[in-house]
């Protein structure tokens, strides 16, 4: 082992593509599996994707927040909390909410009724202008 050539085995392109040794582990070019498929595309086609910039992401988040707010009649803040809890999946929020609203509220920490309620119908006196206000 006097040189680098002795340390690394020599592998040529033919030996990499040679399937005769039976050690093929199902890579891209492996067409020996007899699956019933109707498409003629290669088995390693990449899924289509779109690179989003920050503004696109914010717009999509805002659309989801508005959608949840309108359908569930909750605040935007509550919608944001629900979406974060369900990994920004609108359908998962809908399914969980309509299956068990109270359980979802408890799980994410949303109160059904606000803590502070003003039940008094009497008029209060403004300490600045000293007028009676409802």
Digit-coded pLDDT (tens) for 83-112: 999 999 999 999 999 999 999 999 999 988
Lowest mean pLDDT among 25-34, 50-59, 102-111: 25-34
* Cα distance between residue 2 and residue 4, in whole Å: 7
| Residue 8 is assigned to a structural domain of this protein | no
Whether the pLDDT of residue 73 is over 70: the answer is yes
Nearest Cα neighbor of 108 from 68, 66, 71, 70 is 68
| Residue 63 is assigned to a structural domain of this protein | yes
| Residue 60 is assigned to a structural domain of this protein | yes
* Cα distance between residue 109 and residue 81, in whole Å: 9
| Residue 102 is assigned to a structural domain of this protein | yes
pLDDT computed for residue 10 by the predictor: 55
| Residue 134 is assigned to a structural domain of this protein | no
| Residue 68 is assigned to a structural domain of this protein | yes
Give the pTM. 0.52
Q: How many domains does the chain have?
A: 1
| Residue 16 is assigned to a structural domain of this protein | no
Whether the pLDDT of residue 42 is over 80: the answer is no
**Angle value at C-alpha 78, between 108 and 66, nearest 5 degrees:** 135
Cβ partners under 8 Å of residue 21, min gap 6: none
Q: Give the domain extent around 99.
A: 54-108
| Residue 32 is assigned to a structural domain of this protein | no
């Amino acid at each position: 082992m006097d040189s680098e050539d002795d340390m690394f085995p020599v592998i040529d392109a033919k030996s990499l593509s040679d399937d005769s040794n039976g050690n093929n582990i199902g890579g891209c070019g492996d067409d020996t599996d007899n699956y019933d498929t109707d498409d003629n595309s290669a088995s390693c086609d990449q899924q289509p994707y779109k690179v989003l910039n920050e503004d696109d992401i914010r717009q999509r988040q805002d659309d989801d927040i508005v959608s949840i707010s309108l359908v569930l009649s909750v605040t935007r803040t509550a919608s944001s909390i629900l979406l974060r809890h369900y990994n920004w999946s609108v359908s998962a929020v809908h399914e969980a909410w309509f299956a068990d609203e109270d359980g979802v509220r408890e799980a994410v920490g949303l109160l059904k009724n606000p803590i502070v309620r003003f039940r008094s119908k009497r008029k209060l006196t403004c300490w600045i202008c000293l007028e009676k206000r409802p």
